[in-house]
Structure 1
Amino acid sequence: MDTIWLTGAEWLAVLRIGLGLWWLESWRHKDKKAWFERGSGIEWATGVATRHRWPAVRRGFDLVVAPRPRLMAYVVVYAELALGLGLAVGFLTPIALVGGLLLNVLYFILMIHDWAEQGQNSMMALISVVGLFAMSWQTWSVDNALGLFQ
Structure 2
Amino acid sequence: MQVVHSYGLSAAQCLAVLRIGLGLWWLESWRHKDKRGWLQRGTGIAWAKGVAEKHRWTLVRGSFDRLVAPRPTSMAYVVVFAELALGLGLTVGLLSPIALVAGLLLNLLYFVLMIHDWAEQGQNLMMALISLVALLGMGWQTWSLDHLLHLFGA
The answer to whether 1:99 aligns with 2:98 is no
Return the match for 1:14 from 8, 13, 17: 17
Q: Distance in 2 between matches of 1:116 and 1:20?
A: 21
Q: Secondary structure at the match of 1:35?
A: helix
Deviations 1:50-109 (A, max 9, x none): 010000010001000011111111000000000000000000000000000000000000
Q: CA deviation at 1:4?
A: 3.4
Further displaced range: 96-105 or 5-14:
5-14
The answer to whether 1:5 aligns with 2:4 is no
Q: Distance in 2 between matches of 1:13 and 1:130?
A: 11
1:34 maps to what in 2? 37
1:145 maps to what in 2? 148
Q: CA deviation at 1:5?
A: 1.7
Structure 1 vs Structure 2 CA RMSD: 0.9
Deviations 1:12-44 (A, max 9, x none): 100000000000000001111111111101100
Return the match for 1:123 from 122, 126, 139: 126
Q: Secondary structure at the match of 2:62?
A: helix
Q: CA deviation at 1:3?
A: 4.2
The answer to whether 1:134 aligns with 2:134 is no
Return the match for 2:73 from 67, 70, 74: 70
Q: Secondary structure at the match of 2:140?
A: helix
What is the TM-score when the length of structure 2 is the normalising length? 0.95
Q: Could you tell me which runs of 5 or more consecutive residues in structure 1 were left unpaired when the two chains were aligned.
A: none
Which residue type is aligned with residue 9 of structure 2? L
What is the TM-score when the length of structure 1 is the normalising length? 0.97
* Aligned ranges 1:106-117 → 2 under 5 Å: 106-117=109-120
Runs (4+) of structure 1 exceeding 6 A deviation are none
Q: Secondary structure at the match of 1:98?
A: helix
The answer to whether 1:44 aligns with 2:47 is yes
Q: Distance in 2 between matches of 1:8 and 1:71?
A: 40
Q: Could you tell me which runs of 5 or more consecutive residues in structure 2 were left unpaired when the two chains were aligned.
A: none
Q: Distance in 2 between matches of 1:64 and 1:140?
A: 38
> Identity of aligned pairs, percent?
71
Corresponding residue pairs, total = 149
